[in-house]
Chain A
């Protein structure tokens, strides 16, 4: 009864283009933003930040990025881990080379560097499609990880091969290094997530988004009706890699603090791919849902099985594989459009409630 559109007519195309045409949705969105910005920073602590919120924010950014490439533009990529590595190592080099520049700009610069690398590795997509492209992105994944492992310039010739984030501040509060407070780090990542989500929303609902989806749905027909496939695919790679690079930069600098190339391996690529499959391909909400799900699952499992039931941790890890794999298959069979579709269907039903149809 409360989720209604009756009486809410749109009188201009501008209004029709809104993200949340239903008032209730809009208020819900403002409420979430309010909680995120005004409430959580005051109650967050180290554990919650490190186990739940930070990974969620960071993976959500990466998931949106991969969703743009794979979900909206249809170019399957298994190289997400490698591109996150580009972001991580790029920001490391920037931070150490230009210590006076605010780390905020370094994150953006790292994203731009990753975008450039993404375009390079995206060039083969003009000739290669489908699985073949997926396998080609593996070349990017393995090569990039090897590169950052073997070429000492990337880790500033340190003996251990590890990169460590030096302390940097924003508005005099440290966001990296040992002195950073959880609420500051959280807000830093949140700001990036909100900005990037808005941009993603704008891009996907406009002309560029339509050209991406046209390529995804029927690339030959798309070209015949006037879509330039080179421009569409390469912009998808560029934008997607920018997001993944930002995620990688944040992952290293504010979340891990210190990293080796193992942190960016192929498991990472699969994790993020699973997030967008479970969450919903071609949906920004889906990216959030998938990221939340895959961040919370191991936390829940660990708390239930290990802390509560007393099972050994490796057992919990094995079960996690089992459950994730099983869920992927279940979702693909029952709802290939993921949690986002389930959510949409729920909303449709809510619109009609209490009537059945």
Chain B
């Protein structure tokens, strides 16, 4: 088999994995948008914040230590304990639920009938606020996240592909685990929304707030639930990305990457988020591999957006989105 094709296959596989992670972040968006019509720009920062909180709790950091030290002149940094990963994840999840409740009560309850653009800008404000809060609580240095997930090159794949293609594929164990977890999560979310009472209520709210109210659905409860689930998704995404490349500011930029995913898949479709993520993941990596060297490289910075843009011009509602019928 020609060498280029073998390389391309490896790039393709890595692209699929990256795509799964994108899809994971995009899922958080879809959930919130479906239930409340809010486009949550802060989803990426939520991933960062949750990852930072997780590390902070695991390492026993004192929250707001910089601030406290600056005001009181003390020099505290750590409590001195180390929490096992599983427990820390539970605690972090609790924090995210609290955050979801606060966000609903403090912000979105007051913005109930506003235009979508105002809601979107509120989430941008939330993103900045959370970013500042996260930095204030845990410090903005890069942190290493280790929850015990396997990392490093998967030796079995390396050997097998070497035997077949004379070239060992480099597939990171972490990516494989991430794919499996993401797939599981997607399955759980789909099942939840289709088969449980709360899931049905969520879909009702997504369709029509007034109608949902009239059959006794508590909007507040649904929205807190949705933001909590999105928070959970953000935490998983944060763990995956954080384990891969460290917990730092650039994690929040992943949210930006999720946007083209949503544009491709449509804002309201869970399968769309997945398909969109895969297309973007594979597309990016293949484009950089094939054409990147000719035009200077680093095309991953913009390719996803341009691809989505071109796609949107021909199909404004995305692959799976609801067709927009203009009415007067």
A and B touch in the complex (CB under 8 A): yes
Which of the candidate stretches A124-132, A171-179, A233-241 sits at the interface with the other chain?
A124-132
Instruction: Report if A26 contacts B (CB, 8 A).
Output: no
Known contacts A146-B302, A321-B128: does B120 contact A131 (CB below 8 Å)? yes
From residue A259, how far is it (CB to closest CB) to chain B in Å? Answer: 18
Which of the candidate stretches A32-40, A110-118, A246-254, A323-331 sits at the interface with the other chain?
A323-331
One of B118, B124, B308, B316 near A273 (C-beta < 8 A): B124
A332 in contact with B301 (CB, 8 Å): no
A315 in contact with B132 (CB, 8 Å): no
Mark A122-162 against chain B: 1 for CB-CB distance below 8 A, else 0: 00100111111011101100110110011100000000000
Known contacts A325-B125, A325-B126, A332-B121: does B132 contact A128 (CB below 8 Å)? no
A325 in contact with B312 (CB, 8 Å): no
One of B133, B136, B297, B312 near A136 (C-beta < 8 A): B312
Known contacts A142-B301, A314-B140, A319-B132: does B107 contact A329 (CB below 8 Å)? yes
Known contacts A322-B129, A336-B118: does B136 contact A312 (CB below 8 Å)? no
A328 in contact with B128 (CB, 8 Å): yes
B129 in contact with A325 (CB, 8 Å): yes
A135 to B302, CA, bound (A): 12
| Residue from A224, A312, A336 whose CB has the most chain B CB atoms within 10 Å | A336
Instruction: Report if A203 contacts B (CB, 8 A).
Output: no
**Additional 7 contacts, C-beta under 8 A, given A322-B128, A322-B136, A325-B130:** A124-B309, A136-B308, A143-B305, A270-B128, A312-B70, A325-B127, A328-B128
One of B39, B111, B267, B295 near A332 (C-beta < 8 A): B111
Mark A291-323 against chain B: 1 for CB-CB distance below 8 A, else 0: 000000000000000000111101101111111
- Contact count band on A: 35 or more
B299 in contact with A146 (CB, 8 Å): yes
One of A131, A146, A277, A325 near B39 (C-beta < 8 A): A131
Q: Which DSSP category, helix, strand, loop or mixed, fits chain A's interface?
A: helix
A71 to B114, CA, bound (A): 16
* Sample (26) of A-B pairs whose CB atoms are under 8 Å apart: A128-B312, A128-B316, A130-B116, A134-B120, A135-B260, A138-B259, A139-B302, A139-B306, A142-B302, A143-B305, A146-B301, A146-B302, A150-B295, A220-B328, A270-B124, A312-B66, A312-B70, A318-B140, A324-B125, A325-B127, A328-B129, A329-B107, A332-B111, A332-B114, A332-B118, A332-B121
Residues of B within 8 A of A321 (CB): 128-129, 131-132, 135
A127 to B313, CA, bound (A): 6
Residues of A within 8 A of B222 (CB): none
Chain A: residues with CB nearer than 8 A to chain B? Answer: 74, 76, 124, 127-132, 134-136, 138-139, 142-143, 145-146, 149-151, 220-221, 224, 266, 270, 273-274, 277, 309-312, 314-315, 317-329, 332-333, 336
A132 to B298, CA, bound (A): 24
From residue A284, how far is it (CB to closest CB) to chain B in Å? Answer: 20
The 4 A-B residue pairs with the shortest CB-CB distance, nearest first, are A325-B129, A321-B132, A328-B125, A325-B128
A319 in contact with B136 (CB, 8 Å): yes
Smallest Cβ-Cβ distance to A330: which chain B residue: B125
A329 in contact with B312 (CB, 8 Å): no
B129 in contact with A333 (CB, 8 Å): no
B326 in contact with A220 (CB, 8 Å): yes
Instruction: Report if B117 contacts A (CB, 8 A).
Output: yes
A328 in contact with B70 (CB, 8 Å): no
B132 in contact with A322 (CB, 8 Å): yes
Instruction: Report if B95 contacts A (CB, 8 A).
Output: no
B122 in contact with A328 (CB, 8 Å): yes
Instruction: Report if B90 contacts A (CB, 8 A).
Output: no
Smallest Cβ-Cβ distance to B317: which chain A residue: A132
Instruction: Report if B48 contacts A (CB, 8 A).
Output: no
Residues of A within 8 A of B263 (CB): 132, 135-136
A333 in contact with B111 (CB, 8 Å): yes
Residues of B within 8 A of A311 (CB): 70
Residues of A within 8 A of B118 (CB): 332, 336
Q: Which DSSP category, helix, strand, loop or mixed, fits chain B's interface?
A: helix
Smallest Cβ-Cβ distance to A321: which chain B residue: B132
A139 to B114, CA, bound (A): 27
B305 in contact with A138 (CB, 8 Å): yes
Instruction: Report if B256 contacts A (CB, 8 A).
Output: yes
A211 to B26, CA, bound (A): 36
B116 in contact with A131 (CB, 8 Å): yes
| Residue from A224, A315, A323 whose CB has the most chain B CB atoms within 10 Å | A315
Mark B252-263 against chain A: 1 for CB-CB distance below 8 A, else 0: 000010011011
Instruction: Report if B296 contacts A (CB, 8 A).
Output: yes
Residues of A within 8 A of B117 (CB): 74, 76, 130
Instruction: Report if B67 contacts A (CB, 8 A).
Output: yes
A35 to B131, CA, bound (A): 39
A45 to B160, CA, bound (A): 70
B67 in contact with A315 (CB, 8 Å): yes
Instruction: Report if B197 contacts A (CB, 8 A).
Output: no
From residue B259, how far is it (CB to closest CB) to chain A in Å? Answer: 5
From residue A226, how far is it (CB to closest CB) to chain B in Å? Answer: 15
A140 to B66, CA, bound (A): 38
A146 to B303, CA, bound (A): 10
A332 in contact with B309 (CB, 8 Å): no
B297 in contact with A150 (CB, 8 Å): yes
Residues of B within 8 A of A124 (CB): 309, 312-313
Residues of A within 8 A of B305 (CB): 135-136, 138-139, 142-143
A128 to B67, CA, bound (A): 45
Residues of A within 8 A of B124 (CB): 270, 273-274, 328
A143 in contact with B296 (CB, 8 Å): no
From residue B10, how far is it (CB to closest CB) to chain A in Å? Answer: 25
Smallest Cβ-Cβ distance to A324: which chain B residue: B128
